[in-house]
């Protein structure tokens, strides 16, 4: 176990900086994963007779809901430590802070709301 503890991988977590904008590897990989997932669902859904444009529409609203849900759950988790005294930082998504469970729940709610509104 001692030899594994001595291994250090010096990878910068940020891909690049452009002014105040920082693109992280985490963000790039998340984008790639979501884009591939949406593409595959649309491809497989099209083969099953689903309307591909509807799949893309649901995906857009699920992604929006996922981003909102991820930030919302993170803010709830860290309210006392970070956000209670600095409410403006709740809206500073670029400063970091998302929660995967919030993204899953928010994505489901966003997609479900779109389907319910569209079918009503």
**Selected residue with higher pLDDT from 19 and 72:** 72
17-23's contacts with Cβ under 8 Å and 24+ in sequence apart are 20/94, 21/94, 22/94
pLDDT digits (tens, 9 = 90+) for 46-104: 999 999 999 999 999 999 999 999 999 999 999 999 899 988 999 888 777 899 999 99
What mean pLDDT comes out for the span 4-8? 77
Q: What is the pTM for the complete model shown?
A: 0.83
User: How confident is the model at residue 54, as a pLDDT?
Assistant: 96
Q: Is the pLDDT of residue 117 over 90?
A: yes
């Amino acid at each position: 176990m001692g030899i594994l503890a001595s291994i250090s991988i010096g990878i910068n977590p940020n891909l690049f900086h452009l002014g105040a904008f920082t693109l992280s590897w985490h963000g790039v990989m998340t984008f790639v994963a979501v884009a591939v997932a949406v593409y595959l669902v649309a491809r497989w859904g099209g083969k099953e007779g689903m309307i591909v444009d509807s799949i893309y529409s649901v995906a857009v609203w699920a992604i929006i809901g996922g981003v909102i849900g991820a930030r919302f759950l993170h803010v709830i988790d860290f309210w006392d430590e970070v956000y209670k005294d600095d409410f403006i930082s709740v809206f500073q998504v670029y400063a970091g802070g998302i929660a995967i469970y919030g993204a899953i729940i928010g994505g489901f709610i966003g997609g479900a709301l779109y389907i319910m509104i569209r079918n009503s």
